[in-house]
């Protein structure tokens, strides 16, 4: 296929694809997202290929390796179309059975179905699984049905329709007006209105302008941008082209982490295919508008996701943020007007243009419209990527979608917003999730990380963990951020090791304030959140560490005390054998001798927990 | 001229100037460590924090990186500013507890004690002035920051000898905490911190060693000077 030179040619091409595809034809989709890769989807794909080759004998059973479906906890995931039967935790040896029973005979393989965790009911259809049911997958939904490396798949589901609409029936100003009306807010974390940014960039003086897609997702545990780029790269690209048209930019960059190899490959394929079809490059669809995109790969610094640091990196400099007294929309990449948006923000654009702002604004809350993809991880039954309408409560996300806390434990807090987000206590579980509410309670939307914590989590330890990450990932330029994060971490070390004082709490608050107020960029501006939010909601837990030298969640090792209950001890001597430092003494009871109950010498104990693990009689107590 | 106010007093700045420059010229006292008028402002030390009120909105920012804009109000002594500066000073003092200048500045700002573990083995405050002077004034590009976060360091390439260093000593002069030392012994000059030792040239007239060969060659090359231009030292040339 050569370049398409008009919207009519695109529609004709799309019709051709659709005509060739029988909507009733059976096809198998296997999730090829990062989570399913980790659980071995590759072998499953190979097994299906083999089965199809041997048994289908050309009677048209399709196999498609798609992007991430989101339900990573249950991977590898296989969905059979058109019935949309979901099989979970599929192994390569299940492939022949699935093919035989379901594809050929329409029967269900019960053992591979998802079982409702409380009712025990087996669920056949993907849409009926509670994890998916409460979601609203308008951005992420196509991930499960298209092959990211095939532009035809994207076109078949209506891809590049919005681009046609923008290029041929809307003026750039009208596109901006629509995005403004939709009140699309930046999904990278800041929540800045995208339409306003576009308008400022369009109005900025200068012939050459740039648009950038920020795919430098760096939050530990967050992978929604990754999954979008891997699973549906054309949606991001289409958003960028529309944005470039609205702004008047002719060059764009996708800044993606080098650690996301599949994302780099898939966006590269998408760019190539779009170019070949004339959807990218000179005179897009014969409209007279030209725009092209390059990929720039990041080296894995968290701070390089900050817009000015990112631009410095593209320019070939060290990824250090700079002052933004003159905004990047006026003077950004190579001092030209530059509009940067996050992956998910760009992916929202085609939807807004295609279905209109009036449709879009029906979803969400007053100040936050549309949906948000969260990476739901931690102590929750259903980990994975979830796309929910803004305004949904934390309770719905954690319990209805996430399926609650494993092992019957109690929810303690939900950490949102990535490493520099904050911890929201269980008491605020009915909080509606949107940009403003999260900020009000001392956390933030961030790019969409959501870590569920149960009662076995120590909040001081959590703060210490994030502070350790941030002190490493600060670029180190501002004294307030570099020294502030480092000193906060140092104090948290003191507290978790039993050397904390009450003055430390005041000092932490003061340091937090200065780090946030005096640092240049948003990394420093939000870095104290883990400390400040845990101090705000879990101050008693800090005090317990300081005053009673006790870690209530039994996490901070230096504060643990192991004790052998002499009345329970059977004098078997296992613990003494397990102890690596010979801190346990006593005498083994035999038939001839009486024995002496074992005891731990606290001075020698290194709190490794080996004795606790080894005791079969629950005679060792941890305090 | 661009009119602004600093602590209520009307002051004028020129296009392209920053608040710190204008404030210092007008006689206001704003502490600073990483600013030098001969190089571009960098905003690393964060001591020159001020509050800037623009269009009714107030925010704290470093004066050295903020361009003068018409009608802004600058507060150099607000409670917020002083509170933040004091903590930053304490953080810097903890990094470099032995330095006289830092001790004096801390005292002046009312920082009496350091509540953090003192870094007795560190000395550099990571202001970056040495590298900026080396890049922007000397043009040698001999050193740069390496690593990030709390491991950040100012170092020669690959932590080895600074092969581009001409041992001019500009970094030695500009370092606010005096941790870059230069020594001359016989016909050699060494910049200790950058592990750079260069042979010196002898003046044909007085016989003194006056500058490193490598440096003089670079100057001749850059300024297209005659071959024998540096045969005589600066003093003897009259």
pLDDT tens, position by position, B56-88: 999 999 999 999 999 999 999 999 999 999 999
Q: Look at domain A151-360 and name its CATH class.
A: alpha beta
| A433, pLDDT greater than 70 | yes
Cβ <8 Å between B46 and A519: yes
Check if the beta carbon of residue A477 is closer than 8 Å to that of residue B44: yes
**Per-residue pLDDT band at A300 (split at 50, 70, 90):** confident
Of B60, B91, B148, the CB nearest to A483: B91
- CA–CA distance from A91 to each of A52, A95, B203 (Å)? 16, 7, 83
Partners of A301 on chain B (C-beta within 8 Å) are: 148
**pLDDT, average across residues A143-164:** 93
Is B116 part of the contact surface with chain A (CB cutoff 8 Å)?
yes
Is B149 part of the contact surface with chain A (CB cutoff 8 Å)?
yes
Check if the beta carbon of residue A276 is closer than 8 Å to that of residue A1: yes
Q: Kindly report the nearest CA distance between residue A318 and chain B, in angstroms.
A: 9
Cβ <8 Å between B148 and A473: yes
Is B117 part of the contact surface with chain A (CB cutoff 8 Å)?
yes
Partners of A478 on chain B (C-beta within 8 Å) are: 43-44, 46
Provide CATH 3.30.70.20 ranges for chain A: 560-622
**pLDDT, average across residues B149-159:** 94
**Per-residue pLDDT band at A425 (split at 50, 70, 90):** very high
**Per-residue pLDDT band at A25 (split at 50, 70, 90):** confident
Q: What is the pLDDT of residue A359?
A: 96
Cβ <8 Å between A485 and B150: yes
**pLDDT, average across residues B199-208:** 94
Arch. (CATH architecture) of A371-454:
Roll (3.10)
| A15, pLDDT greater than 90 | yes
| A59, pLDDT greater than 70 | no
Is A511 part of the contact surface with chain B (CB cutoff 8 Å)?
yes
Give start and end residues of each alpha helix (H) in B41-190: 79-95, 100-108, 129-132, 170-174
- A442-492 pLDDT tens trace: 888 888 899 999 999 999 999 999 999 999 999 999 999 999 999 999 999
Q: Kindly report the nearest CA distance between residue A95 and chain B, in angstroms.
A: 49
**pLDDT, average across residues B17-46:** 95
**pLDDT, average across residues A130-154:** 91
Q: What is the pLDDT of residue A58?
A: 60
Check if the beta carbon of residue A72 is closer than 8 Å to that of residue A37: no
Partners of B147 on chain A (C-beta within 8 Å) are: 476
What CATH number does the domain located at B2-108 have? Answer: 3.10.20.740
Encoded tokens for A349: 């654009």
Which residues of A199-263 form beta strands (DSSP E)? 210-215, 251-257
What CATH number does the domain located at A25-81+85-124 have? Answer: 3.40.30.10
**Per-residue pLDDT band at A62 (split at 50, 70, 90):** confident
Q: What is the pLDDT of residue A209?
A: 97
Please report, to the nearest 10 degrees, the dihedral formed by the alpha carbons of residues A311, A315, A318, A319 taken in order.
20
Cβ <8 Å between B62 and A477: no
- Mean pLDDT rounded to a whole number for chain A: 92
Of A474, A484, A517, the CB nearest to B148: A474
Q: What is the pLDDT of residue A540?
A: 96
Arch. (CATH architecture) of A560-622:
2-Layer Sandwich (3.30)
Cβ <8 Å between A520 and B62: yes
| A171, pLDDT greater than 90 | yes
Please report, rounded to a whole number, the percentage of residues in chain A having pLDDT higher than 70.
99
Please report, rounded to a whole number, the percentage of residues in chain A having pLDDT higher than 90.
72
Rounded to whole angstroms, the Cα distance separating A190 from A169 reads: 31
**pLDDT, average across residues A520-536:** 92
DSSP symbol at B115: -
**Per-residue pLDDT band at A542 (split at 50, 70, 90):** very high
Pick the CATH number of A459-547 from 1.20.1440.230, 2.40.50.140, 2.40.30.170, 3.40.1390.10: 1.20.1440.230
Which residues of A466-583 form beta strands (DSSP E)? 562-564
| A51, pLDDT greater than 70 | yes
Q: What is the pLDDT of residue A118?
A: 77
**pLDDT, average across residues A528-556:** 94
- Mean pLDDT rounded to a whole number for chain B: 94
- CA–CA distance from A361 to each of A158, A177, A197 (Å)? 21, 14, 19
Cβ <8 Å between B44 and A478: yes
Provide CATH 3.40.50.11540 ranges for chain A: 151-360
Check if the beta carbon of residue A188 is closer than 8 Å to that of residue A341: yes
Provide CATH 3.40.30.10 ranges for chain A: 25-81+85-124
Q: Kindly report the nearest CA distance between residue A523 and chain B, in angstroms.
A: 12
Q: Kindly report the nearest CA distance between residue A555 and chain B, in angstroms.
A: 25
- A99-137 pLDDT tens trace: 888 888 888 999 999 988 778 889 988 888 889 989 999
**Which residue of chain A has the CA closest to B88?**
A480
Q: What is the pLDDT of residue B114?
A: 93
- B81-118 pLDDT tens trace: 999 999 999 999 999 998 999 999 999 999 989 999 98
Is A507 part of the contact surface with chain B (CB cutoff 8 Å)?
yes
Calculate Rg over the CA atoms of chain A. Answer: 28
Cβ <8 Å between B126 and A479: yes
Is B61 part of the contact surface with chain A (CB cutoff 8 Å)?
yes
- A340-361 pLDDT tens trace: 999 999 999 999 999 999 999 9
Partners of B45 on chain A (C-beta within 8 Å) are: 479
**Which residue of chain A has the CA closest to B48?**
A518
Q: Kindly report the nearest CA distance between residue A482 and chain B, in angstroms.
A: 6
Q: What is the pLDDT of residue A57?
A: 66
Q: What is the pLDDT of residue A422?
A: 87
Partners of B95 on chain A (C-beta within 8 Å) are: 483
Q: What is the pLDDT of residue A419?
A: 85
Cβ <8 Å between B46 and A478: yes
Partners of B62 on chain A (C-beta within 8 Å) are: 323, 520
Partners of A510 on chain B (C-beta within 8 Å) are: 87
Provide CATH 3.10.20.740 ranges for chain B: 2-108
Check if the beta carbon of residue B69 is closer than 8 Å to that of residue B54: yes
Provide CATH 3.10.20.600 ranges for chain A: 371-454
Cβ <8 Å between B87 and A511: yes
**pLDDT, average across residues A221-225:** 88
Best residue in A317, A480, A484, A515 to probe B by mutation, most B CBs within 10 Å? A480
**Which residue of chain B has the CA closest to A511?**
B87
| A323, pLDDT greater than 90 | no
Q: What is the pLDDT of residue B119?
A: 84
């Amino acid at each position: 296929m050569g370049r398409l030179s008009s919207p009519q040619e695109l529609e004709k091409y799309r019709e051709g694809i659709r005509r060739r595809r029988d909507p009733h034809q059976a096809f198998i989709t296997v999730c090829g997202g990062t989570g399913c890769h980790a659980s071995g989807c590759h072998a499953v794909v190979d097994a299906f290929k083999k089965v199809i080759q041997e048994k289908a004998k050309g009677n048209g059973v399709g196999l498609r390796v798609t992007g991430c479906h989101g339900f990573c906890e249950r991977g590898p995931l296989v969905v059979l179309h058109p019935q949309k039967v979901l099989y979970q935790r599929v192994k390569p040896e299940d492939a022949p059975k699935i093919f035989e029973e379901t594809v050929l005979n329409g029967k269900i393989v019960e053992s591979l179905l998802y079982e409702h965790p409380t009712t025990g009911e087996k669920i056949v259809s993907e849409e009926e699984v509670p994890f998916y049911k409460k979601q609203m997958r308008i951005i992420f939904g196509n991930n499960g049905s298209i092959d990211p490396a095939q532009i035809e798949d994207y076109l078949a589901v209506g891809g590049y329709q919005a681009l046609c609409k923008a290029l041929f029936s809307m003026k750039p100003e009208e596109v901006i007006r629509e995005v403004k009306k939709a009140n699309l807010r930046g999904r990278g974390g800041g929540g800045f209105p995208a339409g306003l940014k576009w308008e400022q960039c369009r109005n900025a003086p200068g012939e050459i302008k740039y648009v950038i897609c920020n795919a430098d997702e760096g939050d530990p545990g967050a992978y929604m941008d990754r999954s979008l780029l891997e699973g549906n790269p054309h949606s991001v690209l289409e958003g960028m082209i529309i944005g470039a048209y609205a702004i008047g930019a002719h060059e764009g960059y996708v800044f993606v982490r080098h650690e996301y190899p599949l994302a780099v490959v898939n966006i590269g394929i998408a760019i190539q295919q779009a170019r070949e079809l004339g959807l990218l490059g000179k005179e897009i669809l014969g409209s007279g508008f030209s725009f092209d995109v390059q990929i720039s790969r990041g080296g894995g610094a968290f701070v390089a996701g900050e817009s000015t640091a990112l631009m410095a990196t593209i320019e070939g400099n060290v990824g250090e943020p700079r002052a933004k007294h003159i905004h990047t929309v006026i003077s950004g990449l190579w001092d030209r007007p530059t509009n940067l948006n996050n992956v998910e923000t760009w992916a929202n654009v085609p939807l807004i243009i295609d279905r209109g702002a009036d449709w879009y604004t029906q979803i969400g809350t007053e100040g936050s419209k549309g949906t948000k993809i969260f990476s739901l991880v931690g102590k929750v039954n259903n980990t994975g990527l979830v796309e929910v309408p803004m305004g949904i409560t934390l309770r719905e996300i954690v319990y209805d979608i996430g399926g609650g806390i494993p092992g019957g434990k109690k929810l303690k807090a939900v950490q949102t917003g990535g490493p520099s987000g904050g911890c929201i206590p269980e008491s605020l579980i009915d909080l509606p999730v949107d940009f403003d509410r999260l900020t009000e309670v001392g956390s933030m939307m961030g790019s969409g990380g959501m870590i569920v914590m149960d009662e076995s989590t120590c909040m001081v330890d959590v703060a210490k963990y994030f502070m350790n990450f941030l002190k490493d990932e600060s670029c180190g330029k501002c004294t307030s951020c570099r020294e502030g994060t480092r000193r906060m971490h140092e104090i948290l070390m003191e507290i978790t090791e039993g050397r904390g004082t009450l003055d430390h709490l005041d000092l932490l608050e003061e340091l937090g304030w200065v780090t946030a107020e005096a640092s240049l960029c948003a990394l420093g501006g939000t870095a104290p959140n883990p400390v400040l939010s845990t101090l705000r909601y879990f101050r008693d837990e800090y005090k317990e560490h300081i005053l009673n030298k006790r870690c209530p969640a039994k996490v901070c090792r230096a504060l643990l005390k192991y004790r052998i209950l002499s009345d329970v001890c059977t004098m078997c001597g296992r613990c003494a054998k397990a102890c690596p430092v010979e801190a346990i003494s006593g005498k083994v009871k035999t038939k001839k001798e009486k024995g002496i109950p074992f005891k731990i010498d606290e001075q020698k104990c290194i709190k490794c927990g080996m004795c606790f693990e080894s005791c079969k009689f629950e005679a060792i107590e941890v305090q | 001229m661009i009119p602004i106010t600093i602590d209520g007093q009307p002051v004028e700045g020129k296009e392209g100037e920053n608040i710190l420059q204008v404030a210092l010229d007008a006689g206001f006292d704003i502490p600073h460590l990483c600013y030098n008028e001969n190089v571009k402002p960098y905003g690393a030390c964060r001591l020159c924090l001020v509050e800037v009120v623009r269009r009714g909105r107030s925010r704290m920012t470093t004066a050295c990186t903020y361009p003068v804009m018409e009608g802004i109000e600058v507060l150099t002594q607000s409670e917020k500013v002083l509170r933040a500066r004091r903590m930053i000073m304490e953080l810097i003092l903890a990094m470099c507890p032995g330095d006289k200048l830092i001790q004096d500045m801390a005292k002046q700002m009312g920082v009496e004690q350091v509540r953090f573990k003192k870094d007795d083995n560190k000395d550099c405050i990571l202001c970056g002035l040495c590298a900026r002077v080396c890049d922007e004034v000397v043009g040698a590009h001999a050193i740069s920051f390496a690593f990030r976060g709390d491991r950040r360091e100012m170092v020669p390439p690959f932590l080895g000898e600074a092969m581009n260093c001409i041992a001019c000593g500009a970094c030695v002069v500009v370092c606010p905490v005096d941790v870059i030392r230069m020594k001359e012994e016989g016909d050699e000059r060494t910049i200790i911190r950058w592990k750079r030792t260069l042979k010196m040239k002898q003046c044909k007239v007085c016989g003194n060693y006056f500058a490193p060969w490598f440096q003089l060659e670079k100057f001749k090359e850059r300024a297209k000077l005659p071959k024998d231009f540096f045969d005589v030292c600066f003093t003897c040339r009259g």
